[in-house]
Chains A and B, each alone.
Chain A
């Protein structure tokens, strides 16, 4: 390889450091479980983005490869437990990876023949097929109860038995770092670049010597491998695999959170994966309406920031490079405050609706972010509606000012670029 530039070394160093010290900073049992899940989700979302962001393949069935990876890994773990497979427990996720790759070889041969809508439809069908099979073949899929296992088997390696969650976390962190590095490396290879070309214009690719189907298929297999690794790690982490891991809900989550994080940048899905775990573990604890909030969030993301969070970050990095970020900061603060104010009102109204529907037996009072609301009292409704309207009203005013400011900054950057070009 060419010498790595310092910026890149710093980024990877920080990433390794974060993986290393995260459990020291967030040391509770819940935090470590969540960190483990984040590592698993990062690999899954990045492998998904090989298809979506890099290859333009909108797959509705990525959970097939993570899920089947999970199943193969947990069966492998059980075989290891019986003593008839002499491999260390730490390599069980690789079994998942090979399985994910194998199923991608099998199913991908069909799905990657077509691109675009046809590809999306076939993956949807494939996902339904596998989910239906999971209900039919209960020997392999374990039926309702799923397949459970015990990861504390075999010979301990340097005292590591994976009996504690922290040991599992560090195994996952190691896999995450290596998988992320490999997937990043892939983006810089001939196949990785041709995958982008196929995404942009599959027809033109055919006239520069490449078979776009083969490019898609090969990338699909590689993505299947990493998806399987993610599934294998999940099997090791939870010690149980149920049919929902190959379900449409899981596939949908990969799609939505990869999109939310940002499919156009390599690091976007990492953000998406972290948010996915936060939403599924924390948000679902806080409120019964969490899926509704998620849905609203996606709606606004798709409408106003289709490049995801990563693109928002990169837009501002660009502005910062031209020294124009400072002028926007106060507007950002105003947007945040007014937006949160409005959201507070929306949230209150939604929580009162949910409370009336689901918890009416517990009385009409509810606690909401430090406030006490009465779902049976009109005053609460009027007050919160007022908060919402005032919040969003002012937000809209700030937003109009922001848009002017934004286009002004963009114009400045354009002229600056032209000036530099003409030098």
Chain B
């Protein structure tokens, strides 16, 4: 597929003049964004810029005040989170959001059930669902928690819980993945390993991720969206964003220099 065709194809995710107000304050102020299928996009911006709110709008956790969210060209805003998920968009959370009293394996198996068509059935036994069990096992190996199969999620270490969070997020086989600060609270070495994990498990998928570590951002992303005060002020390749004077002024400053010095 040539670059021209790719640009012409329906974007995996498209935001059109998306706005969100809480009371009188407008948090998201007219965001336009087109994410191509298979692209890795990092969303960066200062604290309180509206990055998480943006994710909440896309995933259906919040309802937009106005504007549109299109998933593979289909309008999804107004739908419930589970309806959006069924259409192939899945997300993780900034604060670890797992099923604490279920084992690692059970957490992952729950995440695959809907996509395999088991829905609300109570006339089948989980032990007999070979496809679900195989998929959960495969996920467990992908996120390297196969040795913790029967450990309750609440008893995992923080990094393991973050990995489980990713596993649950990709379990349903969604083609568009939103990761909200997947490496938050991790040490540098953990972060490096974790980014490698994210890269491998989201292979071939469309990825949107909020990330603070600039080294990680420039290493991971095909394009970077810079969100400042509820607006996307730049959306371009890492090189172009790095060179963008407006971005430098508004947000990046020294952290770009750090990333350049450290990463190259």
Q: What residues of B have a CB within 8 angstroms of the CB of A210 in the complex?
A: 82, 113-114, 120
**Are A201 and B119 interface neighbours, CB within 8 A?**
no
* C-alpha spacing A25/B191, complex, angstroms: 65
Q: What residues of B have a CB within 8 angstroms of the CB of A189 in the complex?
A: 121-126
A190/B113 contact (C-beta < 8 A), A206-B85, A208-B90 known: yes
Q: Pick from A209, A214, A218, A222: contact of B85, CB below 8 A.
A: A209
**Are A208 and B122 interface neighbours, CB within 8 A?**
no
Interface stretch, picked from B45-53, B94-102, B248-256, is: B94-102
**Are B122 and A186 interface neighbours, CB within 8 A?**
yes
Residue B242, interface by CB 8 Å: no
Interface stretch, picked from A192-200, A345-353, A377-385, is: A192-200
Q: What residues of A have a CB within 8 angstroms of the CB of B118 in the complex?
A: 190
* C-alpha spacing A192/B122, complex, angstroms: 7
B 86-97 to A, binary, CB cutoff 8 A, 1 in contact else 0: 100011010001
**Are B99 and A200 interface neighbours, CB within 8 A?**
yes
* C-alpha spacing A177/B112, complex, angstroms: 33
Q: What residues of B have a CB within 8 angstroms of the CB of A404 in the complex?
A: none
Q: What residue in chain B is nearest A185 (Cβ atoms)?
A: B125
**Are A194 and B147 interface neighbours, CB within 8 A?**
no
**Are B82 and A188 interface neighbours, CB within 8 A?**
no
Residue A229, interface by CB 8 Å: no
Q: What residues of A have a CB within 8 angstroms of the CB of B126 in the complex?
A: 188-190, 192-193
Q: Pick from A185, A186, A194, A222: contact of B110, CB below 8 A.
A: A194
A201/B99 contact (C-beta < 8 A), A188-B126, A189-B123 known: yes
A 44-75 to B, binary, CB cutoff 8 A, 1 in contact else 0: 00000000000000000000000000000000
**Are A208 and B98 interface neighbours, CB within 8 A?**
no
Residue B111, interface by CB 8 Å: yes
Residue B81, interface by CB 8 Å: yes
**Are A204 and B98 interface neighbours, CB within 8 A?**
yes
Residue B182, interface by CB 8 Å: no
* C-alpha spacing A150/B152, complex, angstroms: 52
**Are B120 and A218 interface neighbours, CB within 8 A?**
yes
* C-alpha spacing A193/B114, complex, angstroms: 12
Residue B172, interface by CB 8 Å: yes
Residue B199, interface by CB 8 Å: no
Q: What residue in chain A is nearest B86 (Cβ atoms)?
A: A209
Residue B59, interface by CB 8 Å: yes
Q: Which of B81, B106, B110 has the most CB of A within 10 A?
A: B110
**Are B102 and A196 interface neighbours, CB within 8 A?**
yes
**Are B106 and A193 interface neighbours, CB within 8 A?**
yes
- Chain B: minimal CB distance from A151 (Å): 32
Q: Which of chain A's residues 139-161 have a Cβ closer than 8 Å to chain B?
A: none
- Chain A: minimal CB distance from B137 (Å): 15
Q: Pick from B82, B101, B106: contact of A207, CB below 8 A.
A: B82
Residue A421, interface by CB 8 Å: yes
Q: What residue in chain A is nearest B154 (Cβ atoms)?
A: A200
* C-alpha spacing A197/B86, complex, angstroms: 18
A222/B122 contact (C-beta < 8 A), A2-B127, A207-B81, A421-B147 known: yes
Q: Which of A194, A196, A421 has the most CB of B within 10 A?
A: A194
**Are B100 and A200 interface neighbours, CB within 8 A?**
yes
- Chain A: minimal CB distance from B116 (Å): 9
Residue A191, interface by CB 8 Å: yes
A208/B102 contact (C-beta < 8 A), A189-B123, A190-B121, A421-B147 known: no
**Are A191 and B172 interface neighbours, CB within 8 A?**
no
Residue A311, interface by CB 8 Å: no
**Are B101 and A200 interface neighbours, CB within 8 A?**
yes
Residue A1, interface by CB 8 Å: yes
* C-alpha spacing A205/B80, complex, angstroms: 12
Residue A416, interface by CB 8 Å: no
* C-alpha spacing A210/B98, complex, angstroms: 14
* C-alpha spacing A186/B120, complex, angstroms: 12
Q: What residues of B have a CB within 8 angstroms of the CB of A199 in the complex?
A: 101
Residue A203, interface by CB 8 Å: yes
- Chain B: minimal CB distance from A95 (Å): 22
Q: What residue in chain B is nearest A209 (Cβ atoms)?
A: B114
**Are A208 and B114 interface neighbours, CB within 8 A?**
yes
Residue B129, interface by CB 8 Å: yes
Q: What residues of A have a CB within 8 angstroms of the CB of B124 in the complex?
A: 189-190
Q: Which of chain A's residues 197-238 have a Cβ closer than 8 Å to chain B?
A: 197, 199-201, 203-211, 214-215, 218, 222
Q: Which of B80, B93, B99 has the most CB of A within 10 A?
A: B99
**Are A197 and B110 interface neighbours, CB within 8 A?**
yes
**Are A204 and B97 interface neighbours, CB within 8 A?**
yes
**Are B82 and A211 interface neighbours, CB within 8 A?**
yes
Known contacts A186-B122, A208-B111, A211-B80; 9 further A-B pairs (Cβ under 8 A): A188-B127, A190-B119, A196-B106, A197-B110, A201-B98, A204-B168, A208-B110, A208-B172, A209-B114
A and B contact pairs by CB, cutoff 8 A, 23 listed: A2-B127, A185-B125, A188-B125, A190-B119, A190-B122, A193-B106, A193-B110, A200-B101, A201-B98, A204-B98, A204-B168, A205-B82, A206-B81, A206-B82, A208-B114, A208-B171, A209-B82, A209-B85, A209-B114, A210-B82, A210-B114, A211-B82, A215-B120
